[in-house]
Amino acid sequence: MKSKDEQPWRELGLTGEEYERIKRELGREPNLVELNMYSVMWSEHCSYKHSRAALRRLPATGPRVLQGPGENAGVVDLGGGLAAAFKIESHNHPTAVEPFQGAATGAGGIIRDIVAMGARPVALLGSLRFGPLEDGRSRYLFERAAAGMAWYARETGIPVAGGDIYFEESYRGNPLVNVMCVGLLPVERLVRGRASGEGNLVLLAGAPTGRDGIHGASFASVELTAEIEEEERPPVQVGDAALGKALMEATLEVIEKGLVVGVQDLGGAGLSCASTETAARAGSGMELDLDLVPLREEGMAAYEILTSESQERMLLIVEPEKQAEVAAAFTRRGLYCEAIGRVAGDGMVTVKHHGETVARVPAKSVAEGAPVYDPASREPSYFRELASFDPLELPREEDFNGALLKILSSPDVAGRAWMAHCAGGQGVEADEGAALLPLPQGRAMVVAVAGNGRQVFLDPYRGAVFAVCEAARLLACAGAEPLGITDGLNFGSPEKPEVYWQFKQAVEGIADACRTLSLPVVGGNVSFYNEVDGEAIYPTPVIGAVGLLEDAAKRCGTGFSEDGDLLYLLGADSVTLGGSQYLKSCRGRVAGALPTIDLDLERRLLELLRRLTGEGLLRCARALSEGGLAAALAKCCLRGRRGAAVKLPATERPELSLFGEGPTRVIVAVSPESAARLEALAREAAVPAVILGQAGGEKLRIAAGARELVDLPLAQLEKAYREAIPCPTP
């Protein structure tokens, strides 16, 4: 057995068994350059070696799917010759170390993924998680990350169309920055990251290559420690949004002109990933000469050039006779575009540096040959203990006005004006649910993100089901038909049985919900090792959904818009205080069982909402989420600048009626003339519809039987809701 000093693969994050596998693949000992290529490509970040087996459970096909998992992004058909490319990615570890650049390059990377499919990015959505705002470090990370994402969005001209954000103790040292990008393309312009055509040229376009981000993929595949965060300053990518904008426009120009065979973003693992993945997908090989790579630093070693994650770079596969025209599109925008190699037919990626062959590896082995693990899985000890807690054993709530104000001022619930502020006026408030993006012929694409890590912590299966259903419900409230989802799965170390149990349960929940709702998962991202000093984050699946609204003029709002409108609660009546915002904000507890969900009722509710919108019956539709019925009513009042009077049945525990949470619930407002039709359609769909009251006035008033519970002026609600999260400094 070799001594530790003679086992360089261990320092590169490979196990002894993986090293032996590499030797078998090559039929010899790998050299250090080859070891570096394997180490980044077989890292968890690139290979998904601990998640691939579980992810096979997810449905990935559907009548609208043009491209599923395995490419830079998923693509669905919008009809009318248009398609949508979309994906969600995480940049968690870099944000923990350098929040501005971590979030900015997270946005830049996902933008390039969309561009590489031939799509013009039209919206970004951020799904962010930080520690408690009262903690100085957490506030710093939040403010700098929000500013970094918004800066890149502003400079590239892509609006921040919304998102969500939560502040929990478990994210204190390991924030999550998940960014979703959505783009539009003509169906015939769809391109893929494939190095097809022996003899075609391999062009590297964009910014020069430096040492930033070297082994960033490996860094994303280990746990954080306090020393890494504050002292070691590991590789963090550095973005240049102006170059990112130029690269986007140049790449779209050459794609639109039909000048490229394949396109691949250079993100995690840099040139190692782009070269081996494009060759592996095409069943080809590639010859690279690193002496031709534009560098911005002297003396870079071959492994550094191959694993650098310098930003704003694209790999293009181009027929030789089109090289000059392609290069011109980049050079006139101040970007490099150099031929660094050619497509080969032998299935090998051969790399030369200073005239010598420094690596020769099978493309499929590096890109697709990592082992697939099925780690041990064990239910955590906390699971049944927390599920057995009954919130109704707590003392009765006496101050319902105070409780509602406390919930509305919680950073998890409060207004998101800061997001639009940071985006330079481009954004919309994330608490308004789904974002509407206009399409030709009066149609619209509708996008949303959802996911509550606290719920998934308490019940990974149900919490993940809830996330899928909430994302789809947000689209349905806008009248849209969901076409597909992308998932960002953020968990601790998969090598810990309790964490892997959470992961497997969550994937099962996503799979079951997607099958019932006929929602294909067209792509996504898995981020493991989100831990600090052995303490894992809440398991946090984030679901991004894309839908189609055939008549954008029929989309209703999320606020009460007319005095006298009748208010209904559509959907399930099953709620609990387990895992609720009320329990966290007002009682300081994270415990309790989540409510059950009837997926068939969820499906019927989504269909009913689309039919109600199609008939133009709805004036307002808002999905219930954190804070339950009372918080949703308050948001509807604030959005429409109009009060409401609501009467609920008498109950011994009004806090359950007001603040209890459960899936499959939507508040809608209709004119009195439309009420009978709404009730008839709800009966036909077998969806419960309960009248709550009427919109109007300057207050939100909620009674249960003869007892008045909430009586609050809109101005007081507004102050609590709008001032909880001050706008971060741009």
Q: Which residues are catalytic?
A: 45, 91
Cα–Cα distance, 477 to 493 (Å, whole number): 36
Euclidean distance between the first and the last CA atom of the chain, given in angstroms as a whole number = 55
Q: Where are the beta strands (DSSP E) in 553-605?
A: 566-571
CB proximity list for 659: less than 8 A, separation 6 or greater: 403, 404, 407, 577, 580, 581, 582, 586, 627, 628, 629, 630, 631
Q: Which of 159, 171, 660 is nearest to 451 (CA)?
A: 171
- Cα angle 475, 570, 567; round to 5: 100
Instruction: Give the CA distances from residue 570 to residues 31, 96, 597, 604, 668, in Å, rounded to whole numbers and listed in that order.
Output: 64, 41, 14, 11, 7
The helix/strand/coil state of 321 is: helix
Let me know: does 722 contact 412? Beta carbons within 8 Å: no
Strands 481-490 and 521-527: parallel
The 3-state secondary structure of 498-519, one letter per residue: HHHHHHHHHHHHHHHHHHHCCC
Nearest to 302 by CA among 349, 338, 336: 349
Residue type, 581: Q
Which has the closest alpha carbon to 548: 60, 57, 63, 58?
63
How is residue 298 written in tokens?
């002297």
Q: What share of the chain is helix, strand, coil (3-state, %, to 5)?
A: 40, 25, 35
Q: Which amino acid is at 14?
A: L
> What residues have CB less than 8 Å from 715, skipping those under 6 apart?
none
- What gap in Å lies between CA 495 and CA 190, rounded to an integer? 38
The gap from C-alpha 589 to its chain's centroid, in whole angstroms, comes to: 27
CA distances 525 to 52, 88, 426, 521, 639, Å, are 11, 7, 26, 11, 34
What single letter denotes the amino acid at residue 7?
Q
Distance set, CA 579 to CA 82, 130, 159, 582 (Å): 41, 18, 33, 8
The strand pairing partners of 635, in sequence order, are: none
Greatest CA span in the chain, whole angstroms?
88
Q: Do the beta carbons of residue 430 and residue 414 sit within 8 Å?
A: no
Give the C-alpha separation, 589 to 582, whole Å.
9
Smallest Cα–Cα separation from 247: which of 386, 76, 454, 108?
Answer: 108
Nearest to 319 by CA among 199, 190, 188: 199
**CA 205/CA 198 separation, integer angstroms:** 20
Enumerate residues 6+ apart whose C-beta is below 8 A from 677: 615, 617
In degrees rounded to 5, what are phi and psi of residue 134?
Answer: -70, -15
| 3-state DSSP assignment of residue 680 | helix
